[in-house]
Structure 1
Amino acid sequence: MEMVHPATVLLDAQGGALRLPVCDHYSGVEVRMRKSLQLQAEMLQEFGTCVFDVTLDCEDGAPVGQEAEHAKLVAELANGAAAGTRVAARVHAVDHAHFQQDLDIIAGEAGERLCHIMLPKVESVDDVLMAEKALQRASDKSIPLHVLIESPAAVQQAFEIASHPAVQSISFGLMDFVSAHGGAIPASAMTAQGQFEHPLVVRAKLEIAAACHAHGKVPSHCVVTEFKNPQALQACAQKASRELGYTRMWSIHPDQIRPILRAFAPADDEVRQAAQILTVAAVQNWAPISLDGVLHDRASYRYFWQLLERAHQTGLTLPDAVQPWFAPEFNH
């Protein structure tokens, strides 16, 4: 096989979308944060790659009056996380009294360790600009920003928010979005099934996904609160991935992580097909090929390479022929 890395050849302006782990796991209570980081390290050893992020939560996790202590705990846990893992922090909203303090402590003390900062309740790109300046005051490290859109007004601004260079991903906040409609959307739209049926909710999800894909960012799907029902969770994750264009999803309970990985992973036959097409293409130096009576060129190669990337990210075992492309020593 020609050892030119597919990403070097194929991921141009039309196909260079950012790749992140498909699951973002949230925890805010100390015992759960520690267990989440332990589970992350264990699954890193199991799969050989970090298959989910752990986001340590200050917004919902910090006890009132103990925000500074909680932020220091988050920084301590981030700095102590196992090598090779991905740890983030959700801070308070930009208009909250403890927002700058969160950044000063967490980014100031653990900036080198954080994979991103999550900003809740972002309403416009002005909030992103404010956060960017606050982060620059707190740390000299360049830390990507993830934003949480939770209102109909913010959904309207999704494309502008996604265009900001510091923004890496946009998440959809289902509960607050429904609540922001003053009763016009029923409570059933916050359930596992109902959130895929109400037109306004589905429209908002599609708008965020479209904005992200337009600017090469990662759309992250909202939580499923029925965490004791893994079948419902996996069904939601499959819908988000296969029907709405999401490439990432929130987890709020450890039992949700593996169903999300399974739902976002490509099928085994898809992985085998992608590996076959790309290995033949590599031998032909990425010129067009005919395989089983079907023409393939760089447009389809790009699709199948991204499929293999997703397979790797979700912990699937790849065919031997393509494993060298994912070896740590293969820099591309």
Structure 2
Amino acid sequence: MKIVARTVEYIPGGSVSLPVHPNKALFEGEKPFPVLPSCEHFAGSEKLISKAMQMQQELGPVFDITCDCEDGAAAGTEAEHAQMVAKLIASDANKHQMMGVRIHDYTHPHWQKDVDILVPQIGEKVAYITLPKCTEAFQIQEMVDYIKSVAIAHNIRRVIPIHVLIETHGALREIWELAAIDWVQVLDFGMMDFVSGHNGAIPASCMRSPGQFDHALLYRAKSELVAAALANGVVPSHNVTLDLKNVQQTLDDASRARQEFGFLRMWSIYPTQIQAIVDAMKPDYQEVEDAGAILLSAQANDWGPIQHKGELHDRATYRYYWQLLQRAHVTGITMDEQAKSAFF
């Protein structure tokens, strides 16, 4: 028996059969995989955050901004810094609502105060909250539970996405548990702290390329992070390029991270790195064209099997191409107008 993937809209005197959107046809009842911008730009001071917001207006909604309340806040000014960040995220200048925040780690006495300041003010608007330097999964679970409790206390009912930094031996050891925690959306690799934690066993040169990809311990760590993230429906995010002004190096690093390891996102810490990361991680244009054509044909065929360019396609390939088309959309790639109208 053929199951027809259509909805029926009832109108006076009859009914009209409407094409079903791929989200419903292909993923109904499942947790959707997050489709996020491929670049996450870090900024700590009010000046740098404001500059990043201006760049976001110029380039469009193709990258997230992470406001840093951890390294960005001077000792003794943590509360003032968090208030500044809350004000910027809540402002009308945050037009795309693509601003997240990194708070202090579990061992820092101010992490709960960060949550107390930020969540009541921007819980409805913040794109995500990043939790750094955990050494055991229970720490992140406790932090997430606290964020939930503060949100509920202030009548904030939405899921606030959580990003977890993997930068310690303990976090890597418990990475599968971390990836499975409720609300976790992204696993970030913190390379510099991870290398430092090896007490000189990994040379400093491996904080740069090619060592950051080729050294056995870093290869293992990155591979395990990506595997745990993807298996749990979580986005894997790659570390920064330390060479701030070498655009080609950023482009090369982002390309290796995407093509060789499967990372879907990467950090930026300097303005010129943003476009390089977006360019390196965006889908291939020919694949985007194929994705639009395949999905339009599939939708017209009630999401049953089709042929395209002499090849068979079914729900397995439809899922792949729908996720690819969504990534193309958030990257700003021009796509077929018919596909854009049908799916976005």
Normalised TM-score (structure 2): 0.89
1-structure distance, mates of 2:266, 2:306? 35
Instruction: Please state whether the residue corresponding to 1:148 is helix, strand or coil.
Output: strand
* Greater mean alpha carbon deviation, residues 155-164 or residues 7-16: 7-16
2-structure distance, mates of 1:108, 1:179? 36
User: Closer, same or farther in 2 for the Cα pair 1:109/1:16, shift >3 Å?
Assistant: closer
1:281–1:289 Cα contact (<8 Å) kept: yes
1:2–1:283 Cα contact (<8 Å) kept: no
> Is 1:101 paired with 2:113?
yes
> Is 1:85 paired with 2:101?
no
Larger radius of gyration: 2
Amino-acid identity (%): 43
> Is 1:208 paired with 2:222?
no
> Which residue does the alignment assign to 1:73?
84
> Which residue does the alignment assign to 2:51?
35
Q: Equivalent residues in 2 for 1:299-314 (5 A)?
A: 299-314=316-331
Q: How many residues align?
A: 322
Instruction: Please state whether the residue corresponding to 1:115 is helix, strand or coil.
Output: coil
Equivalent position to 2:273, from 236, 243, 256? 256
2:88–2:94 Cα contact (<8 Å) kept: no
Q: Which amino acid aligns with 1:321?
A: Q
Report how far residue 99 of structure 1 moved: 0.8
Instruction: Please state whether the residue corresponding to 1:114 is helix, strand or coil.
Output: coil
Q: Which amino acid aligns with 1:7?
A: N
* Greater mean alpha carbon deviation, residues 11-20 or residues 172-181: 11-20
Report how far residue 43 of structure 1 moved: 2.6
> Which residue does the alignment assign to 1:128?
140
Report how far residue 16 of structure 1 moved: 3.4
Q: Which amino acid aligns with 1:300?
A: T
Instruction: Please state whether the residue corresponding to 2:261 is helix, strand or coil.
Output: coil
2-structure distance, mates of 1:215, 1:14? 12
Provide Cα deviations, 1:92-123, integer angstroms capped at 9, x if missing partner.
10110111111111112221221111001022
Q: Equivalent residues in 2 for 1:308-327 (5 A)?
A: 308-327=325-344
> Is 1:55 paired with 2:66?
yes
2:137–2:171 Cα contact (<8 Å) kept: no
> Which residue does the alignment assign to 2:11?
none
1-structure distance, mates of 2:124, 2:133? 25
1:78–1:110 Cα contact (<8 Å) kept: yes
Provide Cα deviations, 1:164-194, integer angstroms capped at 9, x if missing partner.
1121111000001111111111111100322
> Is 1:180 paired with 2:197?
yes
Provide Cα deviations, 1:129-150, integer angstroms capped at 9, x if missing partner.
2212332343333422111010
Q: Which amino acid aligns with 1:88?
A: G
> Which residue does the alignment assign to 1:292?
309
Report how far residue 159 of structure 1 moved: 0.5
> Which residue does the alignment assign to 1:112?
124
* Greater mean alpha carbon deviation, residues 106-115 or residues 220-229: 106-115
Give unmatched runs, 5+ long, in structure 1.
Answer: 45-49, 328-332
> Which residue does the alignment assign to 2:288?
271
Normalised TM-score (structure 1): 0.92
Equivalent position to 1:225, from 229, 242, 245? 242
Q: Which amino acid aligns with 1:94?
A: Y
Instruction: Please state whether the residue corresponding to 1:97 is helix, strand or coil.
Output: coil
2-structure distance, mates of 1:55, 1:297? 38
Give unmatched runs, 5+ long, in structure 2.
Answer: 1-16
Instruction: Please state whether the residue corresponding to 2:101 is helix, strand or coil.
Output: strand
Q: Which amino acid aligns with 1:123?
A: T
CA RMSD of aligned residues (A): 1.8
Q: Which amino acid aligns with 1:266?
A: P
Q: Which amino acid aligns with 2:311?
A: V
Instruction: Please state whether the residue corresponding to 1:177 is helix, strand or coil.
Output: helix
> Which residue does the alignment assign to 1:10?
26
Instruction: Please state whether the residue corresponding to 2:127 is helix, strand or coil.
Output: strand
Q: Which amino acid aligns with 2:48?
A: R
1-structure distance, mates of 2:119, 2:178? 22
2-structure distance, mates of 1:129, 1:307? 31
Provide Cα deviations, 1:202-253, integer angstroms capped at 9, x if missing partner.
1101111111111101111111111211111111111111111111111111
Equivalent position to 2:174, from 143, 157, 173? 157
Q: Which amino acid aligns with 2:215?
A: H
Q: Which amino acid aligns with 1:36?
A: A
User: Closer, same or farther in 2 for the Cα pair 1:298/1:251, shift >3 Å?
Assistant: same
1:40–1:85 Cα contact (<8 Å) kept: no
